[in-house]
């Protein structure tokens, strides 16, 4: 059978664009790609990139206070949201242009519209046009979901927060994951009176208990009104604000409310039911180790598979797909020991097992130190940093590292290389410290503080 394309990709985010570009540009495959929204996907347009720029913007309020403590006669004024948003929009336009350009240069034919599957080798575009392909790759990502409570439609999600017409004076963020916790810090830093509800006993569920406890303390020091074991039961419009009733019986009016209570794969409109393609309970596309679905011609990468929902993971999955299908080198994406950063304030970097998870696998030793950094101490700040290593007691191998500190994300990226290579605590001890730095504590810690 002759096909229109060797590969047709549905989704123009990080995983889809990388797969299409490499397949077309490096293997000579004829590739088509459909994207109904903006190229770059969640990460570039409504996720990692604009969020990190907002983190940068929000940090300057604390920097101003520190500058005064260090002798600089600077004064803090109100944040200019309109000015920032104009530059943010321009940067996102630029990045989308880059994505479009690299696809065009690789020879990928793009379609700015939605697409769905109608047969194992047939894609139907929103205009009714049908395209055939030997292989089809689903890379449509996910979306935030609102809980099923009265008035939920009055709140925004992380998709809409970047396009607010004006910065609210007060805001409630509902959720306890990394998105909710990151934006609680961001909005507080931008001068918004920010409250965060989380129904659980501690935010950042699944991460190291000691580390997330320190993040909680730091967020509160910075001014976040973080209320644990608390959820919203209803929302209703009241004047220009939104009245929220909480599970503890309290009520308050906020200028804005944001739900960050989970995400769902974007599979509802892909036509998968007609193909009887198996999905998980939350709608994720089920794939094997090589990102192949139960239908041999159809593959899926990124958040739509709900494996590890991180941009670099989607990119690596896309690269592994191209190696497997177009370069004849069967390649599994490596989901083991993924370093990651949560851009809360304070920042949190982590790789490997939490102390709690490690204790459930083998006898361990825990090396940790908590302190105020030189910069924080001299400036009169109260925020503490944590550096923590977890090792297998029998082998000395480092199986977890957790950092709560400025630039924790930068540190965990580099430490991730060592841990991925199987470094031991003795390897860390043999490494000369760089002084004076915060990170030198990783190579100067003495005996374990706990064993388990």
In a domain, 330, yes or no: no
Residues 360, 319 share a domain: no
Question: Residue 79 belongs to a domain with what CATH number?
Answer: 3.50.50.60
Please state the separation of Cα 157 from the chain's center in Å.
15
Residue 429 lies in domain: 340-451
d(CA 385, CA 348): 10
Q: Which residues does residue 369 pair with via DSSP β-bridges, in sequence order?
A: 387
pLDDT at 423 over 90: yes
In a domain, 334, yes or no: no
Residues 269, 136 share a domain: yes
SS (H, E, C) the chain: CCCCEEEEEECCEHHHHHHHHHHHHHHCCCEEEECCCCCEHHHHHHCHHHHHHHHHHHHHHHHHHHHHHCCCCCCCCCCCHHHHHHHHHHHHHHHHHHHHHHHHHHCCEEECCCEEEEECCEEEECCCCEEEEEEEEECCCEEECCCCCCCHHHCECCCCHHHCCCCCCEEEEECCCHHHHHHHHHHHHCCCEEEEEECCCCCCCCCCHHHHHHHHHHHHHHCCEEEECCCEEEEEEECCEEEEEECCCCEEEECEEEECCCEEECCCCCCHHHHCCCECCCCCECCCCCCECCCCCEEECHHHHCCCCCHHHHHHHHHHHHHHHCCCCCCCCCCCCCCEEECCCCCEEEEECCHHHHHCCCCEEEEEEEECCHHHHHCCCCCCEEEEEEEECCCCEEEEEEEECCCHHHHHHHHHHHHHCCCEHHHHHHCCCCCCCCCCHHHHCCCCCEEC
pLDDT tens-place string over residues 138-195? 999 999 999 999 999 999 999 999 999 999 999 999 999 999 999 999 999 999 999 9
Using alpha carbons only, give the angle 102, 108, 109 rounded to the nearest 5 degrees: 125
Residues 159, 112 share a domain: no
Q: What percent of the chain has pLDDT over 90?
A: 97
pLDDT tens-place string over residues 8-31? 999 999 999 999 999 999 999 999
| Residue-level pLDDT at 48 | 95
Residues 34, 127 share a domain: yes
Residues 270, 254 share a domain: no
Residues 62, 47 share a domain: yes
Residues 179, 168 share a domain: yes
d(CA 136, CA 297): 6
d(CA 164, CA 4): 42
pLDDT at 45 over 90: yes
Residues 426, 358 share a domain: yes
Question: Residue 355 belongs to a domain with what CATH number?
Answer: 3.30.390.30
Tokens for 291? 């990102």
Residues 249, 352 share a domain: no
pLDDT tens-place string over residues 320-339? 999 999 999 999 999 999 99
The CA-based dihedral angle spanning residues 166, 172, 178, 184, taken in that order and rounded to the nearest 10 degrees: 60
What is the Cα gyration radius of the chain? 24
Phi then psi for residue 134, to 5 deg, are -65, -40
Last residue of a domain, one of 206, 228, 261: 261
Last residue of a domain, one of 226, 261, 296: 261
d(CA 400, CA 404): 14
d(CA 305, CA 381): 43
Tokens for 423? 């470094």
pLDDT tens-place string over residues 95-135? 999 999 999 999 999 999 999 999 999 999 999 999 999 99
Tokens for 431? 């490494």
In a domain, 335, yes or no: no
pLDDT at 1 over 90: no
Tokens for 37? 């929204």
| Residue-level pLDDT at 75 | 85
Residues 408-427: what's their mean pLDDT? 98
Picking from 89, 109, 94, the residue whose alpha carbon sits closest to that of residue 31 is 109
d(CA 271, CA 214): 45
In a domain, 436, yes or no: yes
Cβ burial 378-413 (10 Å sphere, 16+ → b, else e) = ebebebbbbbbbbbbeeeebbbbbbbbbbebbebbe
Cis check for the bond before 117: say yes or no (omega within 30 of 0): no
pLDDT tens-place string over residues 182-230? 999 999 999 999 999 999 999 999 999 999 999 999 999 999 999 999 9
Residues 167, 70 share a domain: no
In a domain, 10, yes or no: yes
In a domain, 331, yes or no: no
Q: Which residues does residue 246 pair with via DSSP β-bridges, in sequence order?
A: 232
Active-site annotation holds for 402: no
Catalytic one of 121, 135, 402, 435? 435
pLDDT at 296 over 90: yes
In a domain, 332, yes or no: no
| Residue-level pLDDT at 65 | 87
Last residue of a domain, one of 261, 282, 301: 261
Tally the domains of the chain. 3
d(CA 11, CA 41): 8
Tokens for 133? 């392909």
Residues 372, 430 share a domain: yes
In a domain, 333, yes or no: no
Cβ proximity of 293 and 277 under 8 Å = yes
pTM of the model: 0.96
Residues 400, 346 share a domain: yes
Strands 170-174 and 193-198: parallel
d(CA 267, CA 425): 44
């Amino acid at each position: 059978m002759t096909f229109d394309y060797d590969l047709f990709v549905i989704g123009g985010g990080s995983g889809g664009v990388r797969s299409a570009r490499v397949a077309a540009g490096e293997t000579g495959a004829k590739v088509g790609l459909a994207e109904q929204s903006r190229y770059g996907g969640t990460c570039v347009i409504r996720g990692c990139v604009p969020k990190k720029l907002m983190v940068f913007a929000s940090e300057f309020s604390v920097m101003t206070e520190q500058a005064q403590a260090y002798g600089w006669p600077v004064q803090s004024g109100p944040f200019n949201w309109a000015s920032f948003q104009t530059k943010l929009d321009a940067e996102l336009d630029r990045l989308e242009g880059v994505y479009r350009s690299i696809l065009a240069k690789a020879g990928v034919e793009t379609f700015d519209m939605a697409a769905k599957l109608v047969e194992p080798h047939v894609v139907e575009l929103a205009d009714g046009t049908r395209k055939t392909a030997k292989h089809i790759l689903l890379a449509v990502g996910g979306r935030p979901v609102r809980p099923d409570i009265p008035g939920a439609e009055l709140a925004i999600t992380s998709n809409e927060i970047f396009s607010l017409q004006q910065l609210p004076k007060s805001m409630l963020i509902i959720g306890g994951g990394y998105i909710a916790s990151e934006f609680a810090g961001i909005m507080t830093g931008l001068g918004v009176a920010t409250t965060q509800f989380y129904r659980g006993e501690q935010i950042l569920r699944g991460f190291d208990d000691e580390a997330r406890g320190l993040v909680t303390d730091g967020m509160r020091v910075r001014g976040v009104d973080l209320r644990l074991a608390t959820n919203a039961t209803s929302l209703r419009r009241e004047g220009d604000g939104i009245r929220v009733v909480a599970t503890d019986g309290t009520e308050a009016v906020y200028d804005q409310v944001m739900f960050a209570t989970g995400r769902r794969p974007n599979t509802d409109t892909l036509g998968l039911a007609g193909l009887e393609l198996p999905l998980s309970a939350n709608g994720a596309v089920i794939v094997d180790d090589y990102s192949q679905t139960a239908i041999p011609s159809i593959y899926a990468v990124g958040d739509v598979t709900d494996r590890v929902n991180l941009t670099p993971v989607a990119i690596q999955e896309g690269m592994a797909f191209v190696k497997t299908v177009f370069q004849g080198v069967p390649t599994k994406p490596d989901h083991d020991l993924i370093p990651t950063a949560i851009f809360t304030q304070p920042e949190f970097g982590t790789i490997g097992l939490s102390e709690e998870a490690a204790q459930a696998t083998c006898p361990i030793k825990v090396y940790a130190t908590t302190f105020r950094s030189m910069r924080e101490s001299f400036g009169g700040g109260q925020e503490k940093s944590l550096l923590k290593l977890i090792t297998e007691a029998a082998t000395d191998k480092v199986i977890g590292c957790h950092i709560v500190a400025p630039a924790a994300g930068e540190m965990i990226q580099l430490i991730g290389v060592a841990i991925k290579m199987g470094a031991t605590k003795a390897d860390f001890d043999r490494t000369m410290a760089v002084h004076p730095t915060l990170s030198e504590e990783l190579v100067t810690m003495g005996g374990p503080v706990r064993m388990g």
